[in-house]
Amino acid sequence: MEEEYLYQDLTAKIIGIAMEIHRTLGPGFLEGVYEEAFVYEMERSGFACQRQKEFAIKYKTIILKKKLRADLVVEDKIIIENKATGQIAPIDEVQLVSYLKASGLKVGLIFNFGSKSLEFKRRVLTLPQVHRANQRNQRNSNNLR
Q: How far is CA 96 from CA 40, 82, 133, 144, in A?
A: 23, 11, 15, 26
Q: What is the residue extent of each domain of the chain? A: 8-144
pLDDT in the model for residue 128: 61
pLDDT in the model for residue 4: 75
Q: Topology of domain 8-144, per CATH?
A: Trna Endonuclease; Chain: A, domain 1 (3.40.1350)
pLDDT in the model for residue 141: 43
Q: How far is CA 28 from CA 15, 20, 41, in A?
A: 19, 15, 19
Measured in Å, how far apart are the chain's first and last C-alpha atoms?
A: 48
pLDDT in the model for residue 126: 84
**What pairs with residue 79 in β-bridges?**
73, 108
CB 49 within 8 A of CB 42: yes
pLDDT in the model for residue 145: 41
pLDDT in the model for residue 135: 54
pLDDT in the model for residue 65: 96
31-44 and 8-25 helices, crossing angle to 10°: 120
pLDDT in the model for residue 142: 43
Strands 107-112 and 78-83: parallel
pLDDT in the model for residue 3: 63
Going from the first residue of the chain to its last (145 residues), give the mean pLDDT of each consecutive group of 10, the final group possibly shorter: 80 98 97 97 96 94 95 98 96 95 96 96 78 50 43
From the DSSP assignment, how many helices (H) and strands (E) are in the chain?
Answer: 4, 7
